[in-house]
Amino acid sequence: MRKIGFIGLGIMGKPMARNLIKAGHQLVVYDINKTAVSELVSEGAEQGLSSSDVASKTDLIITMLPNSPEVKEVALGKDGVIEGAGPGTILIDMSSIAPLAAIEVHDKLKEKKIDMLDAPVSGGEPKAIEGTLAIMVGGDQSIFDSVKDILLIMGSSAVLVGGIGSGNTTKLANQIIVALNIAAMSEAMVLATRAKVDPEKVFEAIRGGLAGSTVLNAKMPMVLEGNFKPGFRIELHIKDLMNAMETAHELDTPLLLTNLALEIMKALKVDGKQGDDHGGMIQFYEKLAGVKVRKP
């Protein structure tokens, strides 16, 4: 069993950390949310006083943070990981951030002989709780091999896709596909509802064919119940798609449909729905068409 630092105990980080505790690992945890820290301390974790303090007490640190600025601050800022970690420490950043930000953090940590993997995840809160996340990893093979067993406590799969930054590039690709799946589902089901065809029966009819997908199976039952309780919030998907667009601009790569999905989600944010599950994207289409896609 290892002593592991865990920084970032939000909607994803807390259940991920909890699964490591359940597996018998000793955790040193830190978050600005003291309630989340206290909750895990009551379950056996040790409280860290800062990111630097966590790093000084462990040689493997996991971060799960909102976006690139927070990762840079926690890793490289005042009282950050870089100030407390010794040579040979491994930082696994499981946040979803811009690939170039991951490379920047990696390069600065490397100057201090601190190793890093970028390892964003897919699956949302339900799979974080289950420990069945899909984990996309960028970094060196030897470092990945040394921590793969830890990753597989939090996920059902952990795949090394390339060098540092490639984990987050893969996550951006994932988020593009998920967003466009939800948009396609939304358009199709609003059309069916406007045509007075039961959307639940349409779902049952198409889910086993080529139009079927993990996204459809996960989100359509929620839509039919009018349940937009967040597993993954619209505002977080906006963040990921903005990172995708930023990366695309840097690489001169057109992302026409991604930009449209981003604008739809931004419109929902203006409408006060940024805290809804991203399956709530259908509400944009429902409002335009004047229908609700629900069970009869």
Q: What is the pLDDT of residues 49-66, one digit of tens each?
A: 999 999 999 999 999 999
Number of domains forming the structure of the chain:
2
- Chosen domain end from 164, 195, 222: 164
- Chosen domain end from 124, 141, 164: 164
Are 238 and 283 part of one and the same domain?
yes
Q: What is the CATH number of the domain that holds 257?
A: 1.10.1040.10
**Which residues form the catalytic set?**
171
Q: Residue 68's pLDDT band (boundaries 50, 70, 90)?
A: very high
Backbone angles phi, psi at 136, to 5 degrees: -110, 120
99-110 vs 234-250: helix crossing angle, rounded to 10: 80
Are 111 and 9 part of one and the same domain?
yes
Are 120 and 201 part of one and the same domain?
no
Which of 1, 23, 43 minimizes the C-alpha distance to 9? 43
Report pLDDT for 43.
Answer: 97
Report pLDDT for 231.
Answer: 82
pTM beyond 0.85: yes
Q: What is the pLDDT of residues 260-271, one digit of tens each?
A: 999 999 999 999
Mean pLDDT of the residues in the chain: 97
Average the pLDDT over 93-100 and give the result. 96
In a domain? residue 295 = no
In a domain? residue 273 = yes
Residues 6+ apart with CB under 8 A from 240: 96, 171, 172, 175
What percent of the chain has pLDDT above 90? 97
In a domain? residue 294 = no
Q: What is the CATH number of the domain that holds 98?
A: 3.40.50.720
| DSSP, residue by residue, 130-178 | HT-EEEEEES-HHHHHHHHHHHHHHEEEEEEEESTTHHHHHHHHHHHHH
Report pLDDT for 8.
Answer: 98
Are 126 and 24 part of one and the same domain?
yes
Neighbours of 76 (CB within 10 A): 17
Are 159 and 232 part of one and the same domain?
no
Neighbours of 103 (CB within 10 A): 18
Report pLDDT for 9.
Answer: 98
Domain limits for position 245 = 169-289
Are 146 and 14 part of one and the same domain?
yes
Are 174 and 52 part of one and the same domain?
no
Are 192 and 225 part of one and the same domain?
yes
Query: Quick check: 228 pLDDT over 90?
Result: yes
Are 215 and 113 part of one and the same domain?
no
In a domain? residue 186 = yes
CB 206 within 8 A of CB 275: no
| DSSP, residue by residue, 224-245 | HHT----SSBHHHHHHHHHHHH
In a domain? residue 296 = no
- Chosen domain end from 114, 134, 164: 164
What percent of the chain has pLDDT above 70? 100
Are 183 and 151 part of one and the same domain?
no
Are 157 and 179 part of one and the same domain?
no
Q: What is the pLDDT of residues 43-53, one digit of tens each?
A: 999 999 999 99
Q: Residue 124's pLDDT band (boundaries 50, 70, 90)?
A: confident
Report pLDDT for 160.
Answer: 98
Are 198 and 118 part of one and the same domain?
no
In a domain? residue 96 = yes
